[in-house]
Structure 1
């Protein structure tokens, strides 16, 4: 087994410099054979019913079920102020963006506090106090969410595709047994700036964020030659991407140029709002609802079917000059 050989090589290499690796953990008992119990992270019995966890790279890993989980603590302050709200938000560590809709919900609340120009230790207005109290009481619900670490569920894919819904990335794989798997890989989101922008411009910024994110994902996964599909709800954004940047004002032209450098025009497609999982990133979701939202974790339903059933490719001639100026 390749993993066992790698383990043995690592032990030998470190031993030459006098180092002894410890805190070993695995979801396969064969990898732990020959390792003293004191050198293991937890006393993990893979055959038992226990679900012990290990913290790795800031995430909670359940080795037996091979799943990730995100741990949040209960309220840490009795008095709710802008300082405590910011502190409690910072405690949500989600590097892959798996709980991004929940985090966005909290960020929107923090942004409103800045608009009110409250001091750091000033009590929140009654309405916002009630909203944040409800939010942090429900926050423990995300502790129950379990995300598979292995996006292919330990099966062998025949072919693999990357689907980017604005700024949420999904891996779609067709297995050797003809089953189709769609899994959320990661997401990255930003709250709309306080400075007012038109909706088409905000959608264009989100498209650029998705293009930048997919470039990193391709490099990290070594998926340089895998098919990529870029989805957006904005037909105006699609028109801009399929146009010459020089015909627009600087703000739009600059972002169109970057998107065209990072992606191909033919990779971009239109999807309606109801089939767009990234819509959750725009408005945020209460923690109590995220666990039940299948589209966020497994993508829209059409991706689980044949490609002939997907939304039709974008037709640029349907966009009028009135739309372009929106």
Structure 2
């Protein structure tokens, strides 16, 4: 019998703090997001573990890279809810990362109106996260 140790489930009682780190990315061929759990302990040890990830093929036509990046940002905020509900983990903080400055511009923009496609996705992202939760990662 094969056993895979999931350190985040056996050590959560001993933790002092937990945080989700959720990365999203898109290319012309695929979109995807991944969730990591960072656990801090009282003896100053830190454990980082993979929780969840998913990738999808990008549509062949009709979507620009900014549209695909925005879709992965939506995927990222949805994954937060999925993981939190499935594992019954309430993190102390949630951090989202994207390499798209365009997406960060959409999320942080409160004055400009967007086309319906963008507006719906930005509203969904803002309803499940705050702009300060998002960070840029250079690629």
> Which has the larger strand fraction?
2
Aligned twin of 2:117: 251
Q: Which has the higher contact order (CA 8 A, sep 6+)?
A: 2
> Offset at 1:171?
0.3
* Partner SS for 1:193: coil
Do residues 200 (structure 1) and 66 (structure 2) align?
Answer: yes
Q: Taking structure 1 as reference, are residues 215 and 154 closer, same or farther at Cα in structure 2, changes over 3 Å only?
A: closer
TM (norm. structure 1) is 0.37
Instruction: Measure, in 1, the Cα distance between the counterparts of 2:42 and 2:91.
Output: 20
Aligned twin of 2:30: none
Contact kept, 8 Å, 2:17 with 2:91, in 1: the verdict is: no
Instruction: Measure, in 2, the Cα distance between the counterparts of 1:158 and 1:240.
Output: 34
Aligned twin of 1:150: 7
Aligned twin of 2:81: 215
Contact kept, 8 Å, 1:231 with 1:271, in 2: the verdict is: yes
Ranges in structure 2 where 5+ consecutive residues have no aligned partner: 25-32
* Partner SS for 2:55: coil
Q: Taking structure 1 as reference, are residues 219 and 246 closer, same or farther at Cα in structure 2, changes over 3 Å only?
A: farther
* Partner SS for 2:67: helix
Ranges in structure 1 where 5+ consecutive residues have no aligned partner: 1-52, 54-60, 68-147, 274-326
* Partner SS for 1:203: helix
What is the number of residues matched between the two proteins?
130
- Alpha carbon RMSD of aligned pairs, Å? 2.0
Aligned twin of 1:177: 43
> Which has the larger helix fraction?
1
Aligned twin of 1:232: 98
TM (norm. structure 2) is 0.83
> Offset at 1:251?
1.2
Greater gyration radius: 1
> Offset at 1:176?
2.2
> Offset at 1:194?
1.3
Contact kept, 8 Å, 2:51 with 2:83, in 1: the verdict is: no
Contact kept, 8 Å, 1:230 with 1:267, in 2: the verdict is: yes
* Partner SS for 1:189: strand
